[in-house]
Amino acid sequence: MTEPDRQQREASARVFFALWPDTAVRDALYRHGQALHRALGGKLTRIDSVHLTLLFLGDVAQSRLAALHRIGEAVRFAPFSMQIDTAECWRHNDIAWVGPRRMPPELPQLVGQLEVAASEAGFAFDRRPYAAHVTLVRKAKCRRLDLAPIDVQWPVSEFVLVRSRLQPEGSRYEVIGRWENAGKTEV
């Protein structure tokens, strides 16, 4: 890597907005991930990395992180509950995941607010239809799933901004902003 490339990489942060589960929800989702891993092989998501992405922004200049914090502070949403009740495996990218069979209406509203605000602030992101899911296994050998039913209630009252640091053993996540439905809370 050349020095200008290194400086460019160090001057940016790989970030995304997400729902971060509390300990009980995280542990329940992780147990389902373990079952998916036993059934499909691949690479199990680490327990401390379990989350649901709302808006992936990718590499963002460090100097623009304050703008993302302002976006987080401006978003308003009503707390809601989400039922995680389906497990699937996408063959096109070998991802085993869990998610809601029916998305609560508050979820796409939250995603929409983040997308509009990010777009208005000049951030680039992939504009494909939103698919709510929690990735639990990568490089899965996708086939028909015959697992115990999943029914995890996820109470949602906040969202986070996460920085992803790529490392040889996989990405490490750090929550760098946290907002409740009424504004910013301490990280």
Q: pLDDT over 90 for what percent of the chain?
A: 75
The two structure tokens encoding residue 50: 């379990």
> For position 11, what pLDDT does the model report?
82
Computed over every residue of the chain, the mean pLDDT equals 89
Cβ–Cβ < 8 Å for 181, 155: no
Is 74 part of a structural domain of the chain?
A: yes
Say if residue 7's pLDDT is above 80.
no
Distance CA 79, CA 104 (A): 11
The domain of 92 spans: 14-182
Cβ–Cβ < 8 Å for 2, 139: no
Q: How many domains does the chain have?
A: 1
- For the stretch 107-129, pLDDT in tens is 999 999 999 999 999 999 988 88
| Best CA proximity match to 130, nearest among 56, 76, 58 | 56
Is 1 part of a structural domain of the chain?
A: no
What's the CATH code of the domain at 39?
A: 3.90.1140.10
- For the stretch 66-96, pLDDT in tens is 999 999 999 999 999 999 999 999 989 999 9
pLDDT class of 182 with cuts at 50, 70, 90: low
Distance CA 138, CA 90 (A): 10
